[in-house]
Chain A
Amino acid sequence: MTSSKLYNAIFAAGISLILASLMIGIKLDTDGSTLAVRGATATQWMWIGGGIAVVFFSQLFSAQVDALFGAIPKPNIKAMLPQDQKMTTLKPWLIAALIVVMLIWPFMVSRGSVDLATLTLIYIMLGLGLNIVVGLAGLLDLGFVAFYAVGAYTYALLSQYFGMSFWACLPISAAMAAAFGFLLGFPVLRLRGDYLAIVTLGFGEIIRILLNNWTSITGGPNGISGIAKPGLFGLEFNRRAKEEGAVTFHEYFNMDYDSSYKVIFLYLIAVILVIGVIYLINRLMRMPIGRAWEALREDEIACRSLGLNRTAIKLSAFTLGASTAGFAGCFFAARQGFISPESFVFIESAIILAIVVLGGMGSQMGIIFAAIIMTILPEIAREFSEYRMLLFGLLMVIMMRWRPEGLVPMKRPNLELKQP
């Protein structure tokens, strides 16, 4: 047993040496106009050596490492959350209190934090949308960003060409994204698993390329700038009213102008949208359609033999997910004030998918946590910004290895009959 362990460890260390020494140890460099190689510095070799040692020992003690990883995370989050029994006795006043906290909180912290929270809320919205498609219905969509783009461009274009307000565009954006979801879903949903993944990926790329090339309408790579920010019943949040005769918020209420109002107002809209989406999805999950999504994910053939309409169920999931992305896109355009196709690339789809998976497929709670981690962590770890994407990739692999069910695994909403 031990000797095979040792053999394994030596083998792994040898492989690491081969992998590391050529890519890290030797660096391509241009010397004038010819290509040359140069060796790594002594410190780099030290790092390589250190890395190999880590591999060697982790292989030698792989069983212990596995045990360690298996043991750590689980109790952590459970302990942070209130117990189920407590939850059932929670009164509506607690929810009200929570919402109030979320509403008051931004007035006490800095503008940057509020803005970051807004960005996080956008990702939460996107995560929740994709969760319907991937987590609940089990359809792997790698082009989710397309619907996000449709939502964003709908608002941007309507605002630019017809001067429509954010509030009018919000439902239209969602409807447009849903329509695209429906149109795409109709033909492709007969494809199975991985084919669906690649087709949606291709669709995401097509939408982006079209937006990029259709310069006369979308501005092409220049994007659309000067998108109006949402107002409150016609009151603008600007220092000076943008339109003639319009009244700004601070003038109306006779307050001094404070730039943070605008940011806070955006945040509040996002909070309301997210709460709305969570509420809606929660209701849906309990309805027959929600149950059908999960049933379909678990066993498609069984569903069909039970007489469930496969196409209708898949389409509804696809369309609903898309409309959520449409909401998020519309809001994103409002927050940015400027959008261009650059914001809707594949890596964005991958990040949203990572949020869903890291959080735990199907679990709304987990997705919220994961969205927060994914947006906050890079901000905190600015010093490591070079390593951000590297760690992001590594995290995805490690999570799948040791905690594939996600940070907060999904709990099916269920009712238990009380025994008399």
Chain B
Amino acid sequence: MSEFSLYLLQQLINGLTIGSTYALIAIGYTMVYGIIGMINFAHGEIYMIGSYVTFIVIAGLMGMGIASLPIILIVALVVAIFISSTYGWTVERVAYRPLRGTNRLIPLISAIGMSIFLQNFVVLSQGSRDVALPPQITGGWNFGDPSLYEVSLSYMQVMIFAVTFISMTLLTLFISRSRMGRACRACSEDLGMTNLLGIDTNKIIALTFIVGAALAAIAGLLLGLYYGVVNPFVGFIAGLKAFTAAVLGGIGSIPGAMLGGLILGVTEAMTAAFFPSEYKDVVSFGLLVTILLFRPSGLLGKPEVEKV
């Protein structure tokens, strides 16, 4: 392979890595939107909390003298999912449920408020500076011609792909096969009708928030380990990107969120590869605007039918 194609491959790997975590976070936005039609602005903060919890658990376990990495990671994953889901559930219960059925803007404002609240809650409780974790999973494969360009694929990147793939598969199975998943789909078709059919829609909506938060927690764990740094402000930026990804793929559609995340990640990496990297956000937002202009409901979204 030529130097150029190797370089392209390297950037593609980088893009897919970041893109798959965008996809994980984006699913939380898209599921909530699909069912109750609101933007859960605080979702990015749930991801940030997931990262913090991961760090706390890892530091705590290592402090206790447990050295086995797989055990540490599994415990961290379970605790992060549990705590983040609890936060997700609480946010829904406190800030959104009482507002259901009001003007569309009202829950959105409440969500922006919740996002600001959670961010500053973490600033106050954990401090605003970067918290760093030493690299846990190091090493990787190098391939390509060293005299031309060496492509590196780290174990951590492979782990991100693998975990994202497993989570997505499990989610798809859950949505398409389980009873709860069927109820979820019913809710996103017609909330009122589902309720009439004797399904506790409140429970399903809460479940949506829990599942979304769990996926965000997984993303928090992966990105926390990958970058090794977390601060209270990471949630907002990641949330914004993930939300863009969700809209790009068609908000409300789960495969759309996956696709949108990957497209966004690759676009960013490619922009940074061939243009000054400070313009990558301009390009990703520009892409969003362009796609919405030609496909107003995103790539895989269903066109909304206006009813009187």
B296: A residues at CB distance < 8 A = 190-192, 195
Q: Is the CB of B285 within 8 A of A213?
A: no
For chain A residues 380-420, which have a beta carbon within 8 Å of chain B? Answer: 386-387, 389-390, 392-397, 399-401, 404
A18 at interface, CB cutoff 8 A: yes
Given A194-B39, A197-B39, A400-B107, CB of A23 within 8 Å of CB of B132 = no
Contacts A199-B289, A357-B106 known; list 4 others, CB within 8 Å: A192-B304, A201-B240, A212-B278, A353-B112
Q: Say yes or no for B225: interface residue by CB 8 A criterion.
A: no
Nearest Cβ distance between residue A304 and chain B, in whole angstroms? 10
In the assembled complex, the Cα of A283 lies from the Cα of B98 at a distance in Å of: 37
A272 lies within 8 A of chain B by Cβ: no
Q: How far is the CB of B130 from chain A (nearest CB, A)?
A: 10
**Residues of chain B in range 73-118 having any CB-CB distance to chain A below 8 Å:** 83, 86-87, 89-90, 94-95, 98-99, 102-110, 112-118
| Chain A 104-136 per-residue mask, 1 if CB under 8 angstroms from chain B, else 0 | 000000000000000000000000000000100
Using a CB–CB cutoff of 8 Å, the interface residues on chain A facing chain B are 15, 18-19, 22-24, 26-28, 30, 33-37, 134, 138, 140, 187-188, 190-195, 197-199, 201-203, 205-206, 209-210, 212-213, 300-302, 350, 353-354, 357, 361, 386-387, 389-390, 392-397, 399-401, 404
Segment at the A interface, from B9-17, B188-196, B243-251: B243-251
Interface Cβ pair total, 8 Å cutoff: 179
Which residues of chain B (1-43) have a CB below 8 Å from chain A? 33, 37, 39
Q: A35-B132, A35-B133, A213-B278 are in contact. Are A301 and B306 (CB under 8 A)?
A: yes
Evaluate contact between B131 and A28: CB separation under 8 angstroms.
yes
Any chain A CB within 8 A of the CB of B58? Answer: yes
Q: Is the CB of A35 within 8 A of B124?
A: no
Contact in complex: A393, B87 (CB < 8 Å): no
Determine if B281 and A205 form an interchain contact, defined as CB atoms under 8 angstroms apart. yes
CA distance A138 to B106 in the complex (A): 12
CA A285 – CA B285 in complex, angstroms? 34
CB contacts under 8 Å to A, within B231-262, are: 240, 243-244, 247, 251
Q: Please name 21 pairs of A and B residues whose Cβ atoms are closer than 8 Å in the assembled complex, sorted by A.
A: A26-B56, A28-B59, A34-B62, A34-B134, A188-B292, A188-B293, A195-B292, A197-B39, A198-B247, A202-B289, A203-B285, A205-B285, A206-B282, A212-B278, A396-B109, A396-B116, A397-B94, A397-B114, A397-B117, A400-B106, A401-B98
Q: Contacts A190-B296, A205-B281, A404-B99; is A30 near B131 (CB within 8 Å)?
A: yes
In the complex, B197 has a CB within 8 A of chain A: no
Contact of B95 among A188, A213, A397 (CB under 8 A): A397
Interface of B is mostly: helix
Q: How far is the CA of A19 from the CA of B122 in the complex (A)?
A: 11
* Complex contacts, A353 vs chain B, CB 8 Å: 109, 112
Please indicate the chain A residues that have their CB under 8 angstroms from the CB of B107 in the complex.
400
Contacts of A387 in B (CB 8 A): 120, 124
The 4 closest A-B pairs by CB, nearest first: A396-B113, A393-B117, A393-B116, A202-B285
Beta-carbon contact of A390 and B306 below 8 Å = no
CB distance from A46 to the nearest CB of B (A): 15
Number of interface residues of B (CB under 8 A): 72
Pick the contact of B243 from A134, A198, A203, A206 — CB < 8 Å?
A198
Taking a contact as CB atoms under 8 Å apart, the answer to whether B58 and A35 are in contact is yes
Q: Enumerate chain B residues within 8 angstroms of A18, measured Cβ to Cβ.
A: 83, 86
Q: Which of B270-289 contact A (CB under 8 A)?
A: 276, 278-279, 281-282, 285-286, 288-289
> Are B285's CB and A30's CB within 8 A?
no
A357 contacts across to B, CB distance below 8 A: 105-106, 109
Q: Does B143 contact A (CB under 8 A)?
A: no
Q: For residue B226, which residues in chain A have a CB less than 8 angstroms away from its CB?
A: none
